[in-house]
Amino acid sequence: MKKTALITGITGQDGSYLAEYLLDLGYEVHGLVRRVALEQPGQRLGRLKGSMDRLHLHPASLDSYASVFHVFTRQQFDECYHLGAQSFVGESFADGFSTMSTNIDGTHYVLAALREVQPKCRFYFAGSSEMFGKVRETPQRETTPFHPRSPYGVSKVAGFYLSLNYREAYGIPCSNGILFNHESPRRGFEFVTRKITDGVARIKLGLASELLLGNLEAKRDWGHARDFVRAMHLMLQQPEADDYVVATGETHSVREFCELAFGEVGLDYRDYVRKNEAVYRPAEVDLLIGDYSKARKVLGWEPTVNFAGLVKEMVHSDLELLSSAVHHEQPVALSSR
């Protein structure tokens, strides 16, 4: 019998890859989207364009319990992947109130609706390595204490414990994925990885002359979003709900990312990258690296795309995207982003 899954945040990077992955497995896939997205599909549903005709989209807002509850009363789901969130760390410092409201209340609304009408539905919560923040041990694993260093990290810790509480108190099969940084050509332009690859493409094509970045020494464990959505799915196939770190086990600096990205087009990053202290975080997370041995042992999961492969794919995707825009004389902002 065909399984049915609901994805919140289906229009984002992870949601779009997960939707495609589940469709390929034969799932019936549903997604929560804001009503404005349905009214402006060209602008807001771009990542789903290859699978739109196979998806069932429901207008709802994570800011409204009533709208979330309504979706769960209309359709039965075997699995629910809660990916919807305000996920840009920098923005969480600028507007901590909306980050907390969307990320904590939204998670609580979905869990509460599940408890009321679909308590057997398997639930996945998208946790983050930003929950570790000021790390207590390296590498970080499922038992590493949390010490978040941003409103975003705080909101994810709250969501993690909400999910854990619903599992322990009410028996809802809730699994938490503690995902380290995962990128792709579908990453938003506000994130440093996409800012770099977009900047490289612009400089190569003569559309920009420099790239402004913050802390070049910050180190992250970067994987590919396509790999990470496989881990999400595997978690919900286990007989018992549990928590898993998903990572690559390697760490690289923003500087290394720049070096590889510019190298892909035959340029030296030192000739173009300028530091912009205005985009430094008020409280920085310096080193994140995950130990995914539990996911490897229990889920049989391994990453398939290495760091160099990820950077290469993103750079060439942005080159193709911008080259196409220039060729078709579409407006391209002359900006280093």
Residue 202, H or E segment? helix 192-204
First to last CA, the chain: 48
Strands (E), 206-325: 211-213, 219-220, 223-224, 243-246, 252-253, 273-275
- Distance between CA 177 and CA 129 in Å, rounded? 10
Query: Any idea what DSSP says for residue 264?
Result: T
Q: Is 152 a catalytic residue?
A: yes
Q: Is 130 a catalytic residue?
A: yes
Please choose, from the candidates 284, 287, 257, the residue with its C-alpha nearest in 3D space to the C-alpha of residue 195: 257
**Which pairing describes strands 252-253 and 219-220: parallel, antiparallel, or unpaired?**
antiparallel
- Distance between CA 271 and CA 102 in Å, rounded? 40
- Distance between CA 291 and CA 172 in Å, rounded? 27
Partner residues linked to 178 by β-bridges: 127, 245
Burial of residue 66 (number of CB atoms within 10 Å: 0-12, 13-18, 19+): exposed
**DSSP per-residue letters across 241-262:** --EEEE--S--EEHHHHHHHHH
Considering 17, 152, 269, 272, which one is annotated as catalytic? 152
Considering 20, 79, 130, 264, which one is annotated as catalytic? 130
Q: Token digits for 87? A: 């996920």
Considering 67, 92, 128, 163, which one is annotated as catalytic? 128
**DSSP per-residue letters across 65-97:** HHHHHHHHHH---SEEEE--S---HHHHHH-HH
249: left (phi over 0), alpha (psi -120 to 50) or beta: left
- Distance between CA 284 and CA 89 in Å, rounded? 10
- Residues that are catalytic: 128, 130, 152
